[in-house]
């Protein structure tokens, strides 16, 4: 058996355990910077992230062949055991996570990791949760990996401490725990009426549920939409995000840029594929419920995001609002439900994650050079490296707003093209284009205050940012821009990924080969209502 698909989960967890064994500097923030244990931890942590990047690249190369990689843990056959499945979408998101994680770790190793305890171990636990959520082949493990990444994120959010972080942390933790409870309700309801939680098996089973049970199943799907919408920051569940991300330390916020995309991924995987339109005369299709719901909410998210960005009074908060706007754009494309639209959404997702992670790092670089004013958008002392930081901000702003020839433009163009025959085309075009314009206005306003409205009397910082911090930021923004250079192969890949998502039969064949692929009829011995046909086994007879 090919063990590659399990490595993205195993590598971070083993690294994290090793990092815990190494220990840390004992919370000594001042003297911890050059501590021997911290140096070891940094080397191990960055090395592991690099290995993760190589594994993810290998998986993308495999997945691009069109074959689904299925890994059976313990070699149990599919609907009964746990499976990990890597298709093009999963591989793309694994690679994206690794591409964000490596520069962010490099940045954090420049000093942030000494501001609290066990930063590197928690970072790798979070990576394990992220990677696990992307590769898992069943709904309950999606919940488990969500919890893993959330528990790590609770602590990472508080990294560096301070009153504001605790205030945001309490909100974030309580809201997420409530959402997790809802997640379990949805999972339990789905299990109750289908008897399975395996994605491939569910996709076969959901259309066969009918009558009153189908109604409950629809309710379960909408409960899950609330949960995933909350993680993805979909309106009206988006308001927790700006305060939380703005309060987090810069490397943590940059890593969190990918967390909203886990919510988007879950919506695509569960609502788009499992509960999606499976063709034929299926009794239950969630699409009629989801189709009119997702697109308007996503457009509202986009509008709210840019409005917040215009009103933001500090640079980190502005970037956090732009995160909301980008999620809105991605989900609007997902809500169009088409191969071209999904391909566009995936391309834009990859780009916006990289640019927003880079912007969070850049925001801190700028804030560090402005004396007491920090990231607040008010006149302060001039920054030490105006040309470098200004160019980076301009580049990120232009790409995020969607100016040619940057990848943000290509992504948005793909989304607009895909929506042109949709009845909502006018709304999509106006919201996406206006959002791009207002993003540019918001970032231009921020940039002109930060770099031009300087006060000579305010004490400034004499030194520029260290080359390591700048290199990490440039790497993230550069990766975003490189997506423009490799636009054609990337676009082909994301379109193929979207096409592969629609092919449920191939997914079922890959995951359930022993039980007959897309015609699999797995036994359900635990139903209360007697089956209409004579039971094949005595176990099917209820009490």
Partner 1 sequence: MTSLEFLLASGIGWVTACGIWLLLRGRTFPVVLGLTLLGYAVNVFIFAMGRLWSGVPPILAGGSAVADPLPQALVLTAIVIGFATTGFVIELALRSHHESGTDQVDGRPEAARRDGEGAA
Judged by the rule CB under 8 A, the positions of this chain that interact with partner 1 are: 140, 144, 147, 151, 154, 158, 161-163, 166-167, 169-171, 173-174, 177-178, 180-181, 184-185, 187-189, 191-192, 525-526, 528, 538-539, 541-543
Minimal distance in Å, beta carbon 439 to partner 1?
A: 30
Residue with tokens 């000494």: 114
The whole-angstrom separation of Cα 12 and Cα 453 is: 44
Minimal distance in Å, beta carbon 365 to partner 1?
A: 27
Q: Following DSSP, what letter does each residue of 85-129 receive, concatenated?
A: EE-HHHHHHHHHHHHHHHHHHHHHTTTGGGGSSSHHHHHHHHHHH
Residue 302, CA distances (Å) to 93, 208, 399, 416 in order: 22, 36, 16, 14
Minimal distance in Å, beta carbon 166 to partner 1?
A: 4
Nearer to partner 1, 62 or 199 (CB): 199
Nearer to partner 1, 518 or 540 (CB): 540
Can you tell me whether residue 490 is helix, strand or coil? helix
Nearer to partner 1, 175 or 394 (CB): 175
Nearer to partner 1, 193 or 493 (CB): 193
Minimal distance in Å, beta carbon 121 to partner 1?
A: 16
As a whole number of angstroms, the longest Cα–Cα distance in the chain is 88
Angle at 262 between CA 261 and CA 266, to 5 degrees: 115
Minimal distance in Å, beta carbon 136 to partner 1?
A: 14
First to last CA, the chain: 41
Tally of CB atoms within 10 A around 280: 6
Tokens of 93: 């998101």
Closest CA relative to residue 187, chosen from 221, 159, 153: 221
The whole-angstrom separation of Cα 164 and Cα 242 is: 13
Minimal distance in Å, beta carbon 146 to partner 1?
A: 10
Nearer to partner 1, 154 or 424 (CB): 154
The whole-angstrom separation of Cα 481 and Cα 500 is: 26
Closest CA relative to residue 221, chosen from 263, 183, 264, 262: 183
Nearer to partner 1, 31 or 525 (CB): 525
Minimal distance in Å, beta carbon 45 to partner 1?
A: 23
The whole-angstrom separation of Cα 403 and Cα 351 is: 13
Nearer to partner 1, 40 or 154 (CB): 154
Closest CA relative to residue 311, chosen from 177, 188, 221, 446: 446
Minimal distance in Å, beta carbon 209 to partner 1?
A: 14
Residue with tokens 């690794």: 98
Nearer to partner 1, 154 or 429 (CB): 154
Nearer to partner 1, 456 or 526 (CB): 526
Closest CA relative to residue 260, chosen from 330, 182, 187, 344: 330
- Residue 526 near residue 194 (C-beta atoms within 8 A): no
Minimal distance in Å, beta carbon 191 to partner 1?
A: 6
Stated length of the chain:
543
Nearer to partner 1, 17 or 178 (CB): 178
């Amino acid at each position: 058996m090919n063990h590659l698909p399990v490595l993205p989960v195993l590598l971070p967890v083993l690294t994290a355990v090793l990092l815990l064994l190494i220990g840390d500097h004992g919370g000594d923030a001042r003297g911890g910077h050059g501590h021997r244990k911290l140096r070891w931890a940094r080397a191990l942590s960055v090395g592991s992230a690099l290995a993760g990047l190589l594994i993810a690249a290998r998986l993308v190369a495999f997945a691009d062949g069109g074959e689904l990689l299925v890994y059976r843990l313990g070699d149990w056959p599919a609907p009964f055991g746990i499976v990990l499945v890597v298709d093009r979408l999963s591989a793309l998101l694994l690679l994206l996570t690794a591409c964000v994680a490596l520069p962010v770790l490099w940045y954090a190793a420049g000093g942030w990791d000494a501001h609290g305890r066990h930063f590197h171990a928690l970072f790798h636990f979070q990576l394990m949760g992220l990677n696990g959520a992307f590769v898992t082949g069943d709904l309950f493990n999606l919940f488990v990996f969500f919890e893993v990444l959330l528990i790590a994120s609770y602590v990472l959010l508080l990294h560096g401490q301070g009153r504001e972080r605790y205030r945001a942390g309490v909100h974030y933790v309580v809201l997420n725990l409530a959402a997790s409870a809802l997640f379990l309700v949805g999972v339990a309801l789905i299990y109750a009426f289908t008897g399975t939680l395996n994605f491939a098996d569910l996709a076969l089973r959901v259309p066969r549920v009918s009558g009153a049970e189908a109604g409950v199943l629809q309710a379960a799907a909408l409960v899950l939409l609330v949960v995933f919408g909350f993680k993805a920051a979909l309106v009206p569940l988006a308001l927790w995000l700006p305060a939380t991300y703005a309060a987090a330390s810069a490397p943590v916020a940059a890593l969190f840029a990918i967390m909203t995309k886990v919510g988007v991924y879950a919506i695509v995987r569960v609502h788009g594929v499992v509960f999606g339109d499976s063709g034929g005369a299926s009794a239950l299709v969630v699409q009629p419920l989801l189709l009119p719901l997702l697109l308007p909410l996503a457009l509202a998210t986009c509008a709210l995001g840019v409005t917040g960005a215009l009103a933001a009074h500090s640079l980190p908060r502005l970037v956090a609002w732009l995160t909301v706007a980008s999620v809105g754009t991605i989900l609007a494309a997902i809500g169009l439900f088409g191969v071209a639209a999904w391909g566009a959404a995936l391309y834009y997702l990859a780009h916006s994650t990289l640019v927003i992670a880079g912007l969070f790092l850049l925001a801190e670089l700028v804030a560090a050079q402005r004396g007491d004013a920090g990231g607040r958008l008010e006149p302060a002392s001039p920054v030490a490296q105006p040309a470098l930081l200004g160019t980076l901000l301009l580049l990120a702003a232009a790409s995020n707003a969607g100016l040619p020839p940057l990848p943000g433009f290509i992504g948005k163009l793909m989304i607009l093209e895909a929506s042109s025959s949709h009845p909502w085309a006018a709304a999509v075009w106006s919201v996406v284009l206006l959002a791009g314009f207002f993003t540019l206005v918001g970032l231009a306003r921020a940039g002109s205050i930060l770099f031009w409205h300087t006060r000579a009397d305010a004490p400034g910082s004499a030194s520029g940012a260290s080359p390591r911090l700048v290199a990490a930021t440039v790497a993230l923004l550069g990766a975003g821009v490189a997506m423009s250079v490799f636009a054609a192969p990337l676009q082909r890949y994301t379109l193929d990924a979207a096409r592969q998502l629609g092919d449920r039969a191939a997914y079922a064949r890959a995951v359930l080969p022993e039980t007959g692929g897309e015609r699999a009829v797995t036994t359900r011995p635990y139903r209360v209502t007697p089956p209409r046909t004579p039971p094949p086994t005595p176990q099917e007879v209820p009490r």
